[in-house]
């Protein structure tokens, strides 16, 4: 992309107020992180902080704070973080600006908080393919020796859904159109790409499967759009 991720996402969050439910993917936690907790919570060392990387307006970060004692939400966009601080604050949650592609900043965070468990929802897919190896390398730095990472990303099957929504009467639904109009591309991760990227930095899947992002966008008939996704729980290969 020619504009930075910060520029693109600040522009999105200026247009879409970061109040709960305004963004396409901003499901209530019972349809997202709370539903996912049984898939990863027991595998996370409770002594470690949990970092929600690309936390957006913090709705799922706040959900994590109900389950873990120290949670940090980080995002490249101050616009999203403003909403997070306003709507999803808690005593055990802190929100900070961080670009996942900024290696020195990521390493400084690791030096400060030590090994961390990580949660990511819908973050890696929107990075340009050429940026993904560096992003995963930096995630490995945050994970250190003891951290584990749970992530939910669009699956290849999401492509058919987006194509059919684009073809639909009247074009893509409003909240999807808002995303695209800011230059954000909901890209699909080719099958096997995530596992290959994490394998290169010494992590293997401990669990994986299919899930969905329950969106906040209804179709004209009232049906809520659910985007096909995959989840992974990665841990160090030698753990």
Binding site for ligand SAM (CB under 6 A): 5, 9, 25-26, 54-56, 59-60, 75-77, 80, 99-101, 121-123
Min dist. Cβ of residue 237 to ligand SAM (A): 25
User: CA nearest 95: which of 65, 121, 66, 138?
Assistant: 65
| 20 vs 204, beta carbon nearer ligand SAM | 20
| CA atoms of 26 and 33, how far apart (whole Å) | 11
Min dist. Cβ of residue 5 to ligand SAM (A): 4
Q: Long-range pairs for 188-193 at CB < 8 Å and ≥24 separation? A: 188/125, 188/154, 188/155, 188/156, 188/158, 188/159, 189/124, 189/125, 189/153, 189/154, 189/155, 189/156, 189/230, 190/156, 191/156, 193/132
| 215 vs 235, beta carbon nearer ligand SAM | 215
Min dist. Cβ of residue 169 to ligand SAM (A): 26
Min dist. Cβ of residue 76 to ligand SAM (A): 4
| 210 vs 239, beta carbon nearer ligand SAM | 210
| 48 vs 139, beta carbon nearer ligand SAM | 139
């Amino acid at each position: 992309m020619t504009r930075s991720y910060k520029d693109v996402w600040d522009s999105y969050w200026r247009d879409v107020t970061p109040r709960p439910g305004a963004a396409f993917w901003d499901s209530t936690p019972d349809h997202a992180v709370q539903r996912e907790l049984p898939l990863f919570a027991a595998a996370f060392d409770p002594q470690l902080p949990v970092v929600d990387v690309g936390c957006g307006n913090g709705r799922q970060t706040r959900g994590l704070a109900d389950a873990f004692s120290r949670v940090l939400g980080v995002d490249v966009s101050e616009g999203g973080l403003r909403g997070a601080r306003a709507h999803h604050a808690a005593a055990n949650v802190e929100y900070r600006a961080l670009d996942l592609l900024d290696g020195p900043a990521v390493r400084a965070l690791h030096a400060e908080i030590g090994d961390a468990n990580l949660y990511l929802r819908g973050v890696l897919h929107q990075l340009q393919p050429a940026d993904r190896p560096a992003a995963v390398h930096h995630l490995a730095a945050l994970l250190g020796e003891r951290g584990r990472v749970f992530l939910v990303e669009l699956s290849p099957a999401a492509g058919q859904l987006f194509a059919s929504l684009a073809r639909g009467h009247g074009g893509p639904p409003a909240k999807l159109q808002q995303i695209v109009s800011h230059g954000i591309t909901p890209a699909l991760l080719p099958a096997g790409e995530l596992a290959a990227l994490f394998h290169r930095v010494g992590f293997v899947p401990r669990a994986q499967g299919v899930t969905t992002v329950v969106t906040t966008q209804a179709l004209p008939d009232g049906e809520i759009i659910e985007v096909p996704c995959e989840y992974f729980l990665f841990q160090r290969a030698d753990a």
